[in-house]
Each structure stands twice: as C-alpha cells, then as structure tokens.
Amino acid sequence: MNTTTREQEKLLVDRIKSGDRPAFENLVEAYRSKVLGTLYNLLGGYQQAEEAFWDVWTEVWKSIDRFKGDSKLSTWIYSITTHVAYHERRRRKGIGIPLEEVENTVRSAASPETEVLHQEEARLLEKGIAKLPESLRTPLVLHAIAELDYEDISEILELPVGALKTRVWRAKIELKKVLEPWMKFEKI
C-alpha cells in the first residue's frame, strides 16, 4: 500500500473515531459486498452471513478506537470478519450448513441465460467451498473472495505465507473435484 492510501485510510479512521457517521457509512459501502461474500462462504448460509455481517460492522464501529494503524485497515476488518465467522460457526456447531439457501440468493448477471449458468456454477463452487475443511476454506475464501494478499492473510490467520499458499493450492485441487462434472458439461 502506498503512502497516500495509508494517509487517506488514517484520515478516514480518524474521522470515524471522532464519530463521523457518513465516513463510517462510506467504509461499509467500500467493503460490504466482499465482507458479505467472505462471511457467506465461510458460514455457508445467507441468513447466518447477514447476521454476522451486522455483527462485523457493529464490532468495527465499537472498536475502531483500538485500531492503531499497525496493519492495513482491510486486514483489520477481515480479521474481525474471520473472528465473527469463527464464533458464529462455533455457536452453530452441529446445526450444519443449509446449502439449499444458496439457490435463493441475489446475484447480478448480464442475461437470463448467463444468469442461469453462473448461478449453477456459483452454486457448485459454494458447495465445494462449504465441503472444504476449515483449515483450507478460510485461507481460500480470504484469498479468492476477499482478494487479500498472502501477507495480509498471514497476519490474520497467524500462519506463514508458504503454508498459506500450499493450503490455497490444496483447496483449489479439492474444489476441482467438485467442479469437474460442471466443467465437462460446459465444454460440451
């Protein structure tokens, strides 16, 4: 991250710390789709993801004073996201992941035809991600959905970068197994 972005980030954080609500709203706006996507894939259900989404932003608003700028703001937000998802999963342990909900979610697509194709592909992908063990799922989601650097994920999950890369790679190999039939169908 360059100096200007850091400075802008610091300014934004200072404004939020002073209770500037519009500044906080802008922050939520900037991260909302990725945070929701991350939660959705970590928790595997839209309803839980939405609940957790509000928890994340409540936590960000409440504890922004504790953010000292040692790490990137995005790293800090995703760190909270990961923690909230982790606690939500622990709380709901044994309930299982309601994959049926996946079909009722709202996405955007260019045409009805591509929408159907993308919906199916996304459904399979989410199914695959939900089947992954937590140790592979979290690094993959943070890397592919939240689009974080390996260094940032390493900071959040407290894992070495090399190990993270291997986990993401393994997660993708596992995903391929789930997506295999779809890919064959698409080639036809």
Partner 1 sequence: MDEIRENLTCLRVAELRGSGEALPVELESHASSCPNCLAVREVDEVLGHYEPPRMPHYSRERLWERIEQRGSSSSAVWLRYAVAAVLAFVAWISLYYGHPTRPQEARTNETPVVAQKPILVASLCSVSEIKGNVYLRSLGETPWRALHLQDQLTGGTAIKVASGSAVRFSFPGKTEIALQGDSEGTIQTIFSDRKGLDSFYLLHGKVYIHHRDNPFMASTPVALIEAVGTEFSVRHEGKDTEVRVFRGRVHVKSLKQETSMGREQHLWVGSRADFKVQPFSMKEAEPWERSEFKLAYLNHGKMIQSTIKLVKHTNAVRSSEENLPELRNNTENKAELLTKHQEQHEKSVNQKQSQKLEERATNYHGHLERLRDKEEDQMKKYDEEQRKKAEELLKEQEAHEKK
Burial pattern 162-176, b for ≥16 Cβ within 10 A else e, equals: eebeebbebbbebbe
Q: According to CB under 8 A, which residues from 124 to 153 bind partner 1?
A: 125, 144-145
With CB under 8 A as the contact rule, the residue among 7, 25, 134, 151 that binds partner 1 is 25
Tell me how far, at minimum, the Cβ of 38 lies from partner 1, in Å. Answer: 8
Q: Between 145 and 148, name the residue whose CB sits nearer to partner 1.
A: 145
Say whether 98 sits in a helix, a strand or coil.
coil
With CB under 8 A as the contact rule, the residue among 21, 69, 96, 151 that binds partner 1 is 21
Closest CA to 104 of 131, 126, 73: 126
Q: Between 83 and 92, name the residue whose CB sits nearer to partner 1.
A: 83
Tell me how far, at minimum, the Cβ of 8 lies from partner 1, in Å. Answer: 21
Q: Between 3 and 90, name the residue whose CB sits nearer to partner 1.
A: 90
DSSP-assigned letters across all residues of 15-32: HHHTT-HHHHHHHHHHHH
CB 73 within 8 A of CB 13: yes
User: Does position 98 bind partner 1 by CB under 8 A?
Assistant: no
User: Does position 123 bind partner 1 by CB under 8 A?
Assistant: no
